[in-house]
Structure 1
Amino acid sequence: MTELISMNEMMAREIAAQSEILITCVAPLAERVAQIDVPAGRIFAGGCGDSAFAPAALGGVFAELGIDLEPRTSMELSAFTKFVSADTVLLSSISGGTKRTVEAANVARKAGAHVIALTCNGHSNLANAADETIVLPFTPLSRKTPHTLDYTVTLLALVALASAWARRPVEEISKLVETVPVLLENASEIAWATGSKINQDGKLFFLGAGPDLANANYGAAKFHEAGGIVAIAAETENFIHGMNFMVEPVDSVLLLAGAELVHRRSRQIATSFAGLANCQIVPVNAQDGVLGAFAYTLMTTFVLQYLCLNFANNAGLQVDRPRAGRPDGEKHLAIQSEIMAELS
């Protein structure tokens, strides 16, 4: 039980640390991104896992800034993207060692594209493969828990870079990040209220559209990381074209609805499922403008982080262990390690 407390408390500390670490990152990030030229051509951004979700989750922010950015996974960038010399490619990896992401950097540079790495390790393989590197100015507290702080620093770095390209003052970001303690407190309350209705014996469905589909993927990924929990992310509209038949009475459907059209559809889904399963709209309100879009992304992210932590604590899951200590965790870890060690 001591191990359970220490590692789950580490995740709690990582979530809480966002209130201090994010604000300390603003100035050094602003100084670094100011040195990077505005791209002349297409802009791609991505990575693997959370690093792929981050630029997609910021779609509303980029749109408000007038930055046309295409989020893609490292696999999509490595195998399915035809680069030209005018392209700019942003690739994120906290360790800088994610092999498929390094491959994407090499593929892009070989085609003449300009590659920018976002990583904590300025001497990593990713940094060495890039033309320029943004070293994320913080030290991760742990890499064994479902990633929280690492993800939001990546979000911040992407927004800082896009804001610099859009000639927006860094003070705007600073003022928003200063509100993170309040956002975290509100997110914790929302997560407790939302999570109290989740049956731990059921599956979890996270639904969203546009940037919220990326948020849904991030939310599901936290539950995968925390214990191999069955959590499925899907687009809100596509969900009702067949996936809806998967829902059992013990399951929970959580709807992320930042856009008005998606919110209207989500209300219909929640009403229709009311007699069958726990189906609820996560109550995070959309806001206008660049800062409003970023605040929505951060708030949604914090709610999902707390949902995962609370679920793990209530279920007695050891978040640092493979499958959280559930059966066959070591077998799954061995399979993952073998596959990730090979690149083909």
Structure 2
Amino acid sequence: MTTPNALHNQVASLPELVRTETWRLEDELRKIVPTRVQHAIRHIILTGSGDSAIAGSAAEQTFRTFVGVPCIAATSLHASRYLLGAYDNQYPHTPMVLATSNSGAVARVVEAAQRAKSVGGYVVGLTGDSGSRLGQTSDVTVNVSAPEYPSAPGMRSYVMAVLTLNLFAIRFAEVRGRITMDHAQDLRGELAALGDVVERTLVNADGPLRELAAAWAGLQGVEFLGAGPALASAAFGSAKVLEATGKQSSHIDLEEFVHLNYFERAAEQIGTVLISAPGSAAAGRAAEVAPLLTNLRRPWLAIGDVPGAAASVALPPVREEFAPVVEAAIVGSLAAHLMDATGETPGRGAVGQWADCAGGATTRDSALVL
């Protein structure tokens, strides 16, 4: 069933996308980076802009858990102009840079890839266009384009990037002898099975999220809280609300909220989403923050296992490293319902004072600095 709101349609398409594309991506990744390169790498940088940068943050913990190589997720500007200057051909194929841009045309991502090459790094371009500037700069490319779907604030492209990066981490860990072949295959099976998890979760969450969006339509803004992989989901939720509705929206680390955003005025006008997967390493802190939100009289939603929430969406027990795939579907659904409730056009329609962004010009037409 489709709706006039293309964001709803993209969210609804995620279960099948996860089920089918996980194995297609795994088959491609199995052949893409030579074994000698995987053994040689000493540092990994995950980079991109916008949703692609968030995807790196969502997968960062998987690399740390399984690969045994220092890994950092960074925006393309930070990677290009601050991080990569620390390298100077010290070690072969280091750093390995996994650079994500579905179009392959985003200037800062291309710049980061080119800088990585200039210091002896090995660049894997995650893109839907191997002939793009990113594709031409990269040592190898992976096709992360999702099957065509009506345009909306990016849901499918984000989930594709998160799946790809997680699968890369599993493959690297397997090749480097950090996990067995059987363990690696079990992990891939867990990722593919998230399609069913997302489907069940969306069915259960749709009604509560629709009611919440109607109640929050007139609020000043929406703030997302999370820690670890859930912080990436918080960033993604904020991005979707901004794109879909134009409302003020932000995200913040769960601990840093208590130090900073806790003191915001007009707390009753700030819809707040606290994301905490079952079994999260930060679950205890989430439980402590929950009553603070209530005392502040913030209208708030818990995604996951958080006590004391007046409104909540349950998260099935999945591996914390993989939970962002499920969390993305929930926050995307919330943004879609908010778009319905506010009557907004995604990206402000790229008209008026937002006309500069038409065709992605504000991200693609920037000068490269090398």
**Cross-structure match for 2:102:** 94
Identity %: 21
**Cross-structure match for 2:216:** 199
Report the secondary structure of 2:273's partner residue: strand
**Cross-structure match for 1:308:** 335
The CA distance in 2 between the partners of 1:298 and 1:102, in whole Å, is 26
**Cross-structure match for 1:251:** 270
Out of 245-254 and 105-114, give the one that drifted further.
245-254
Report the secondary structure of 1:157's partner residue: helix
Aligned residues: 330
Q: What displacement does 1:331 show?
A: 1.0
Contact 1:266–1:281 (CA under 8 A) maintained in structure 2? no
Counterpart AA for 1:235? D
Counterpart AA for 1:257? S
Contact 1:228–1:323 (CA under 8 A) maintained in structure 2? yes
Out of 300-309 and 10-19, give the one that drifted further.
10-19
1:236-247 mapped onto 2 (5 Å cutoff): 236-246=254-264, 247=266
Q: What displacement does 1:175 show?
A: 5.0
> Does residue 1:62 correspond to 2:78, yes or no?
no
Contact 1:146–1:226 (CA under 8 A) maintained in structure 2? yes
Q: What displacement does 1:78 show?
A: 0.8
The CA distance in 2 between the partners of 1:236 and 1:265, in whole Å, is 8
1:145-156 mapped onto 2 (5 Å cutoff): 145-156=152-163
**Cross-structure match for 2:164:** 157
**Cross-structure match for 1:273:** 293
The CA distance in 2 between the partners of 1:30 and 1:151, in whole Å, is 17
Contact 1:52–1:73 (CA under 8 A) maintained in structure 2? yes
Counterpart AA for 1:115? V
For structure 2, the 5+ residue unaligned runs are 175-180, 305-313
Q: What displacement does 1:188 show?
A: 4.4
Q: What displacement does 1:161 show?
A: 1.3
The CA distance in 2 between the partners of 1:307 and 1:250, in whole Å, is 17
Contact 2:241–2:247 (CA under 8 A) maintained in structure 1? yes
Write the deviation string for residues 1-28 of structure 1: whole angstroms up to 9, x where unpaired: xxxx63x1x2222222222233322333
TM-score (norm 2): 0.81
**Cross-structure match for 2:79:** 77
**Cross-structure match for 1:226:** 244
Counterpart AA for 1:313? D
Out of 93-102 and 168-177, give the one that drifted further.
168-177
**Cross-structure match for 1:34:** 30
The CA distance in 2 between the partners of 1:191 and 1:271, in whole Å, is 25
Contact 2:18–2:194 (CA under 8 A) maintained in structure 1? no
Contact 1:53–1:218 (CA under 8 A) maintained in structure 2? yes
In structure 2, do the counterparts of structure 1 residues 188 and 76 end up closer, same or farther at CA, with 3 Å as the change threshold? farther
Report the secondary structure of 1:34's partner residue: helix
RMSD: 2.5
Out of 162-171 and 65-74, give the one that drifted further.
162-171
Report the secondary structure of 1:234's partner residue: strand
Q: What displacement does 1:109 show?
A: 0.3
The CA distance in 2 between the partners of 1:268 and 1:26, in whole Å, is 36
Q: What displacement does 1:104 show?
A: 0.5
TM-score (norm 1): 0.87
The CA distance in 2 between the partners of 1:93 and 1:28, in whole Å, is 19
Counterpart AA for 1:199? W
Q: What displacement does 1:196 show?
A: 2.9
Out of 228-237 and 161-170, give the one that drifted further.
161-170
Report the secondary structure of 2:338's partner residue: helix
Q: What displacement does 1:261 show?
A: 5.2
**Cross-structure match for 1:110:** 118
In structure 2, do the counterparts of structure 1 residues 138 and 67 end up closer, same or farther at CA, with 3 Å as the change threshold? farther
Counterpart AA for 1:146? P
